[in-house]
C-alpha cells in the first residue's frame, strides 16, 4: 500500500504541476493528441461507414478490415512506423489512427444498418432524394451508435496514447517511461492514475452526449416503465373477509 500512498502524494504535490514537464503541460498534450487522432480517424472512417450503411455494399469487407486493424499490435506498428519516419509524433499519430478507425467505422455503418427499413422506404415514398434521406433520416437516427463508436475509440486512444512517449517527448506517457527509467514507481503509478481519471471523465461526458443524441421523437416513442396494476375495481375484487364473520 505504500506505493499507492506515494503515488497519490506525487499526484497531489503542487510542485509537479507547473513547467514544461509538469502535469498540466503533459495533460494538455495528451488531450490535444487524442482529439487530433480521433478527428483524423473520423474523417476517414465516417464517410466510408455512411456509404456502406446507406448502400449496403462492402459490409463484409468493412467487417474483415476492422477485425484486421484491431488485431494489429499498436506498439509493433508504432515501432515499425517510427523506424520508417523517425523520431517524432508522426508514428504515434499513424499507429493510433489505425487503432481508432475500426470502432468509428463500426459505429457509422451499424448506426445506419440499425434503422428500420420501413422508415427509409417511407422517406423515399414521400419523394426524398438519397442525399435527403442520408442527411435528414439516417444521420440523425444513427447518431447515437456513431457516438458510441467515437466513445470507444476515444477511450482506446487515451489509454494507448501513453505509447507516444516511446518515440516522442510528449504526453502523460513521459511519466511512465521516465519513472521506469529512474525506478520512480510512484511517478509511474501517479501518471497512470491521471490517465485513468482522464479516461473516466471523457467516458462520462461522451455517455451524456450519446444519451442526448437520441432524436426527440425516438425518445418520446420509447415505452415507459410503468408498474403493472390490476384493472379490476375494488368493488369487483371485494373486501377482505374479517376473521370470525360467516
Q: Does 30 map to a domain?
A: no
Q: If you ran DSSP here, which 8-state letter would residue 195 be given?
A: H
Question: Based on the structure, what is the number of domains in the chain?
Answer: 1
Strands (E), the chain: none
The grid cell for 17 is 504541476
38-56 tens-digit pLDDT = 999 999 999 999 999 888 8
Contact partners, residue 1, CB within 8 Å, separation at least 6? none
What residue numbers bound the domain in which 160 lies? Answer: 37-216
Q: Does 195 map to a domain?
A: yes
Task: Report which of 106, 79, 93 is spatially closest to residue 39, judged by C-alpha positions.
Answer: 93
- Distance (Å) of CA 76 to CA 37, 79, 82, 96: 18, 5, 10, 12
Q: Does 227 map to a domain?
A: no
119-131 tens-digit pLDDT = 888 988 988 888 9
Q: Give the integer Cα–Cα distance in Å for 164 and 30.
A: 9
Q: If you ran DSSP here, which 8-state letter would residue 107 be given?
A: H
Q: Give the pLDDT score at 217.
A: 58
Averaged confidence pLDDT in the chain = 84
Statement: residue 89 has pLDDT above 50:
yes
Statement: residue 167 has pLDDT above 90:
no
Q: Does 28 map to a domain?
A: no
Q: Give the integer Cα–Cα distance in Å for 41 and 171.
A: 19
Contact partners, residue 72, CB within 8 Å, separation at least 6? 98, 99
- Distance (Å) of CA 27 to CA 44, 122, 195: 26, 49, 8
CB atoms < 10 A from the CB of 209, how many?
14
Domain CATH code at residue 140: 1.10.3720.10
Is 54:112 a contact under the CB 8 Å cutoff?
yes
Q: Give the pLDDT score at 231.
A: 41
The grid cell for 87 is 523520431
Is 46:108 a contact under the CB 8 Å cutoff?
yes
Task: Report which of 63, 97, 58 is spatially closest to residue 78, judged by C-alpha positions.
Answer: 97
The grid cell for 86 is 523517425
Q: Does 171 map to a domain?
A: yes
Write down the pTM of the prediction: 0.83
Q: Does 95 map to a domain?
A: yes
Q: Does 15 map to a domain?
A: no
Q: Does 9 map to a domain?
A: no
Amino acid at each position: 500500500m505504500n506505493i499507492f500512498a506515494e503515488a497519490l502524494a506525487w499526484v497531489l504535490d503542487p510542485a509537479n504541476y507547473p513547467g514544461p514537464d509538469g502535469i498540466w503541460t503533459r495533460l494538455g498534450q495528451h488531450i490535444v493528441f487524442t482529439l487530433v487522432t480521433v478527428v483524423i480517424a473520423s474523417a476517414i472512417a465516417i464517410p466510408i461507414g455512411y456509404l456502406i450503411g446507406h448502400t449496403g455494399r462492402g459490409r463484409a469487407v468493412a467487417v474483415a478490415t476492422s477485425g484486421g486493424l484491431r488485431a494489429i499490435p499498436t506498439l509493433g506498428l508504432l515501432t515499425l512506423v517510427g523506424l520508417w519516419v523517425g523520431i517524432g509524433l508522426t508514428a504515434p499519430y499513424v499507429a493510433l489512427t489505425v487503432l481508432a478507425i475500426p470502432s468509428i467505422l463500426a459505429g457509422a455503418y451499424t448506426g445506419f444498418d440499425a434503422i428500420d427499413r420501413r422508415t427509409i422506404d417511407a422517406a423515399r415514398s414521400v419523394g426524398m432524394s438519397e442525399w435527403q434521406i442520408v442527411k435528414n433520416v439516417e444521420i440523425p437516427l444513427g447518431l447515437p451508435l456513431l457516438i458510441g463508436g467515437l466513445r470507444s475509440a476515444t477511450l482506446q486512444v487515451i489509454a494507448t496514447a501513453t505509447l507516444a512517449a516511446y518515440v516522442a517527448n510528449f504526453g502523460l506517457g513521459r511519466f511512465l517511461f521516465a519513472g521506469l527509467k529512474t525506478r520512480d514507481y510512484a511517478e509511474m503509478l501517479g501518471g497512470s492514475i491521471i490517465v485513468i481519471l482522464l479516461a473516466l471523465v471523457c467516458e462520462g461526458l461522451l455517455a451524456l452526449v450519446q444519451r442526448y443524441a437520441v432524436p426527440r421523437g425516438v425518445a418520446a416513442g420509447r415505452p415507459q416503465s410503468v408498474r403493472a396494476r390490476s384493472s379490476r375495481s375494488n368493488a369487483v375484487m371485494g373486501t377482505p373477509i374479517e376473521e370470525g364473520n360467516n
